[in-house]
Amino acid sequence: MSSKSPCRAIKITFGVCVVIVACIWAAGRFGPIRPVTTNSGFREIMGTFVQVAAVAGDSGTTKRCIDAAFEQLELVDNLMSDYKDDSEISQVNRDGYKQAVKVSRMVFEVLHRSIEFSKKTAGAFDVTIGPLVDLWRSVDEKNAMPSEEELAEARAKVGFEKLILDEQEQTIRFAVDGMRLDLGGIAKGYAIDLAIEAMQRAGAVGGMVDVGGDIRCFGAGPKGKEEWTIGLQDPGIATEAIIGGPLTLILELTDDAVATSGNYRRFVLIDGKKYSHIINPATSAGTEGLSSVTVIAKNAMDADVLATAVTVMGAEKGLALIEPMPETEAILITAGPEPEQIQTSGADKYIRK
């Protein structure tokens, strides 16, 4: 997964730059018994900060719901992190060219969906981006731009059409030697959706799961409120002030997910210039143009993937992708000295006035 960048402090700092202030004080009525809200506080999973809130009839149930959510988050991390040598993704990365590697239903599903998203985004979203991500990470250490040869060599190992899935056997294979999967743009969303479902099964009437600023919530809001309030931080502010910094936008969500990607969150620095950790497969370089992309969707996987994809596609193509999608909205902030906020036509209804 994306998260354990060489500079851990920077990663953590930027990984939660879009901060959540999921607390609402509203006038919800729940009948004679007021549900209990329990918040897990922040824990570190998937290389970022995670928090879960559960609303249920009693505190025993809320605690069980929180445990159930974390169990799913840990499970996905253990299967899909490319930083864990024994994860299934690491195994595919090691052996995928030599032989077809049998994977779990979950990993197969995520890769299957990844390919669908690649097709839907004209290749902007591509989980085979690993060799280019590695190359840009290594140049961060050297503080020098990659050479044309290095870029061409890495690019030859990238491409979702080189990823071979066998539905029958549930195996994954690489068509080219040296390919590497990186699920940093999708695994958080997938994990959040599983965690929400687990909380619902465990008896929550409401809940929220936040993995490094990618969030999904459902049902009753916290402490009797009717919705969940999510604060988005200004991408331009000093990022040391992660939690509690000034907010550009406050979103009011009910049964929705939100994810933010951006060049301001994690990047490599070469000669003082920032290069995004999100790579455009068409240019082999870090994306430019948008400092932050927030996508609101009905599930966290869609929000996660689409935020990453729109960052690659840029404002015009990105908005054209999201606009026709039902129940999906995007809020973009352009990069540069005079940042501009651009959004899809239905985004306003989620933004607190």
| 77 near ligand AMP, rule: CB under 6 A | no
Choose the stretch contacting Mg ion; rule: CB under 5 A; options: 24-32, 119-127, 292-300, 301-309: 301-309
Per CB under 6 A, 127 contacts ligand AMP? yes
Position among 2, 40, 284, 292 found at the interface with ligand AMP (CB under 6 A): 2
State the nearest-atom distance from the C-beta of 126 to Mg ion, in Å: 13
- Listed ranges 4-12, 41-49, 190-198, 254-262: which one lies at the site for Mg ion (CB under 5 A): 254-262
Q: Which amino acid is at 176?
A: V
Which of the ranges 22-30, 41-49, 123-131, 317-325 carries the binding residues for ligand AMP, by CB under 6 A? 123-131
What is the gyration radius of the CA atoms in the chain, in angstroms? Answer: 20
Q: Is 307 in the site for ligand AMP (CB under 6 A)?
A: yes
Q: Does 185 bind Mg ion (CB under 5 A)?
A: yes
Which 3-state string (H, E, C) describes the chain? CCCCCCCHHHHHHHHCCCCCCCCCCCCCCCCCCCCEEEECCCEEECCEEEEEEEEECCHHHHHHHHHHHHHHHHHHHHHHCCCCCCCHHHHHHHHCCCCCEECCHHHHHHHHHHHHHHHHCCCCCCHHHHHHHHHHHHHHHHCCCCCHHHHHHHHCCCCHHHEEEECCCCEEEECCCCCCCCCCCCHHHHHHHHHHHHHHHCCCCEEEEEECCEEEEEECCHHHCCCEEEEEECCCCCCCCCCCCCEEEEEEECCEEEEEECCCCCEEEECCEEEECCEECCCCEECCCEEEEEEEECCHHHHHHHHHHHHHHCHHHHHHHHCCCCCCEEEEEECCCCCCEEECCCHHHHECC
Q: Which of Mg ion, ligand AMP, none sits in contact with 277, Cβ below 5 to 8 A by type?
A: ligand AMP
- For ligand AMP, which residue of 129, 204, 296, 322 counts as binding (CB under 6 A)? 129
> How many residues of this chain interact with ligand AMP, rule: CB under 6 A?
18
Q: Which of residues 149-168 bind Mg ion (CB under 5 A)?
A: none
Choice from 40, 263, 291, 308 touching ligand AMP (CB under 6 A): 308
Q: How many CA atoms lie within 13 A of 137 on its CB side?
A: 17
Q: Are strands 267-270 and 290-297 parallel, antiparallel or unpaired?
A: unpaired
Binding footprint of Mg ion, residue count (CB under 5 A): 5
Instruction: For residue 292, state whether it binds Mg ion (rule: CB under 5 A).
Output: no
- Give the shortest CB-166-to-Mg ion separation in angstroms: 27
Least CB distance to ligand AMP at residue 91 (A) = 18
Contact 189, 301 (CB under 8 A): yes
Answer for which of 61, 62, 261, 344 binds ligand AMP (CB under 6 A) is 261
Q: Shortest Cβ distance from residue 6 to Mg ion (Å)?
A: 20
With contacts defined by CB under 6 A, name the span among 23-31, 44-52, 305-313, 343-351 that binds ligand AMP: 305-313
Residues of this chain, 9-68, that bind Mg ion according to CB under 5 A: none
Q: Is 35 in the site for ligand AMP (CB under 6 A)?
A: no
Please report, as ranges, the residues that interact with Mg ion according to CB under 5 A: 185, 261, 304, 307-308
Please report, as ranges, the residues that interact with ligand AMP according to CB under 6 A: 2, 125-127, 129, 133, 182, 184-185, 261, 277-279, 281, 304, 307-308, 312
